[in-house]
Amino acid sequence: AGMVSVVDTALAAIPEGYGGVKPDALNTMLFEEPDVILIDVRTEEELVSNGVIEGENWQFIALESFIDQKAEWPADTDAKIVVYCGSGHRSTIAMSILYAYGYTDVYSLSTGFGGWVDAGYPVVDYVAP
């Protein structure tokens, strides 16, 4: 939990709107740039219960084990990445971690999965690998 408190402190210093992307912008991005990498940082239970946002390069890395699963992060630190969670808090933490490790083009879905659904965008069932 020490890491989380450190990151929470760092998050407090991030200006409002920094790195945030709204559902409309993400929907356009997925259409215009299909190679964008979507990283879902919710728990597997949330994925099973609620479904996921469909993307050609979708991956699941739960925030709880985000650093431990560093080997699963995109190899290209300049790749465009959008991280999302349920409400936008955990994805902002994950985005900050990626920035700290040298990734340059990372965004967080500011409203989270809930905002995506509220905006009327489609979700697909999560299929465990």
Q: Could you tell me which residue, 12 or 20, shows the higher pLDDT? A: 20
Q: Could you tell me which residue, 7 or 39, shows the higher pLDDT? A: 39
Strands (E), 2-76: 20-21, 37-40, 57-60
In this structure, what are the phi and psi dihedrals at residue 36, rounded to the nearest 5 degrees?
-60, 140
Handedness of CA 48, 52, 56, 58 (dihedral sign): negative
Confidence of residue 19 (pLDDT cuts 50, 70, 90): confident
Token readout for 54 is 């469909």
- Residue 6 pLDDT > 80, yes or no? no
Q: CA 108 → CA 2, 17, 43, 66, 129, distances in Å?
A: 22, 10, 17, 15, 24
Residue 5: per-residue pLDDT = 66
In this structure, what are the phi and psi dihedrals at residue 54, rounded to the nearest 5 degrees?
-80, 135
Amino acid at 95: M
At 61-110, the pLDDT tens digits run: 999 999 999 999 999 999 999 999 999 999 999 999 998 899 989 999 99
Q: CA 54 → CA 5, 113, 125, distances in Å?
A: 31, 11, 9
- Residue 42's Cβ-count burial label (10 Å; 0-12, 13-18, 19+) is buried
- Mean pLDDT calculated for residue range 2-25: 69
At 111-122, the pLDDT tens digits run: 999 999 999 999
- d(C-alpha 128, C-alpha 82), whole Å: 21
